[in-house]
Amino acid sequence: MASTKVSEPVSVQAAEKTGKANVVAVTGWLVPGAGYFLVRRWVRGTLVFVCIIAMFVLGLAMQGQLYGPNARDLLDLLGWIGDLSSGLLYWISRAVGWGAGNQFTVMGDYGTKFLVAAGLLNLLTASDARDIALGRKS
């Protein structure tokens, strides 16, 4: 005789935990290190905040270019995704007019790489903070 056991719905606690973890991830993406602050990892959050902002500011100081959305060129699109991963740093810099870049100097090219790397590191840390909030990591 076959069992017709109905699967149990997702518990309310699990849904709330996932919702809070998603808030941690989005907050961590918008403001570097903020996701760690929400999960009470003060030292890690401070280090991430200082390092990502320092990388971003150094990239701008080296006359790095902030990419804009350009779907015609795959490399520009990937650069834009990397820059966009910096969260509010990207939007504030674009609004103020920073990040025009100077690609005719070696420093400008290095600055562009710093800006993209800062964004990708920010995305990685936001994901890590989400995993901590879910209890997958300690």
- CB count in 10 Å sphere of residue 53: 17
Domain boundaries, the chain: 15-134
pLDDT tens for the 138 residues of the chain, in order: 555 555 556 677 888 899 999 999 999 999 999 999 999 999 999 999 999 999 999 999 999 999 998 878 999 999 999 999 999 999 999 999 999 988 788 899 999 999 999 999 999 999 999 999 999 987
Q: pTM of this prediction? A: 0.87
- CB count in 10 Å sphere of residue 63: 20
Residues in CB range of 9: below 8 A, 6 or more apart: none
Q: Report yes or no: 97 and 42 within 8 Å, Cβ to Cβ.
A: no
Residue 63 is predicted with a pLDDT of: 95
Residue 84 is predicted with a pLDDT of: 96
